[in-house]
Structure 1
Amino acid sequence: MPHLQTLRLWRPDDFPWTSIQPRYYEAEKSNRNLRLILQWLRSLKTPKSIAQHVIVFEQDLCQLVEKLKEFTFLDIYGEIHKEKVEPYRLMAQTRFPNSRINVEVSRFRLWL
């Protein structure tokens, strides 16, 4: 699909946007390790975790833009932790300085 111009996605959270896939979903299904799940969820708000997600999201986003030569608009609906909104916006602004960017807790939009 190298001629794709617009991509709209809906995701319940921002993990599937990146290649960071937690084992949270497996543990949730088995209803075991609830304490570990809660601890893991709290760890997602640490500066280190946020920085990891920003780096991986940037790599994935750049790869998408590179492969889709006619790509002009990305619209992702989903939950973004409020701590990640500004880092995601700054990353997109730095990587795509001549683009329009809108990042909210429920949406990431990029016009190239």
Structure 2
Amino acid sequence: MPHLQTLRIWRPDDFPWTSIQPGYYEAKERNRNPWSLLNWLRSLKTPKSIAQHVAVFEQDLCQLVEKLKELTSLDIYGEIHIEKVEPYRLMAQTRFPNSRINVEVSKFRLWL
């Protein structure tokens, strides 16, 4: 697959984009109280959690670009929490300064 030029991915949320897994089912099993589960879900939107997602997404994205040497465009469609849109955009802009980037709540697009 090193000669792939365009990659399009459709995912329901941004967790599968990265190697971070939120442990939803494990938390659900441990926290039978719906309020505990709600607090856990809120914790995923904290600045610390967002920074962790951005760092892992950056690492995974760089590995993908390195392995797919002929990659010219990447489209990932799915739900991005509004709090992560700007951090994802800034990360991509910093990491790929000569590329075109479009990050919205429903997609992440990168043209190298």
Q: TM-score, normalization: structure 2?
A: 0.92
Tell me the matched-pair count: 112
Structure 2 match to 1:76: 76
Residue 39 of structure 1: how far off its partner (Å):
1.1
1:32 aligns with 2:32: yes
Residue 30 of structure 1: how far off its partner (Å):
9.4
CA deviations 1:24-51 (Å, max 9, x no partner) are: 1355589935333211110111110100
2:5 partner amino acid? Q
Structure 2 match to 1:49: 49
Provide the secondary structure at the position in 2 that maps to 1:89.
Answer: helix
Structure 2 match to 1:10: 10
Consecutive unaligned residues of structure 2, counting only runs of 5 or more, are none
Provide the secondary structure at the position in 1 that maps to 2:15.
Answer: coil
Q: What's the C-alpha RMSD, in Å, of the aligned pairs?
A: 1.7
CA distance in 2, matches of 1:46, 1:30: 21
Provide the secondary structure at the position in 1 that maps to 2:16.
Answer: coil
Structure 2 match to 1:61: 61
CA deviations 1:65-101 (Å, max 9, x no partner) are: 0000100110011000000000000000000000000
Structure 2 match to 1:93: 93
Q: TM-score, normalization: structure 1?
A: 0.92
Structure 2 match to 1:109: 109
Consecutive unaligned residues of structure 1, counting only runs of 5 or more, are none
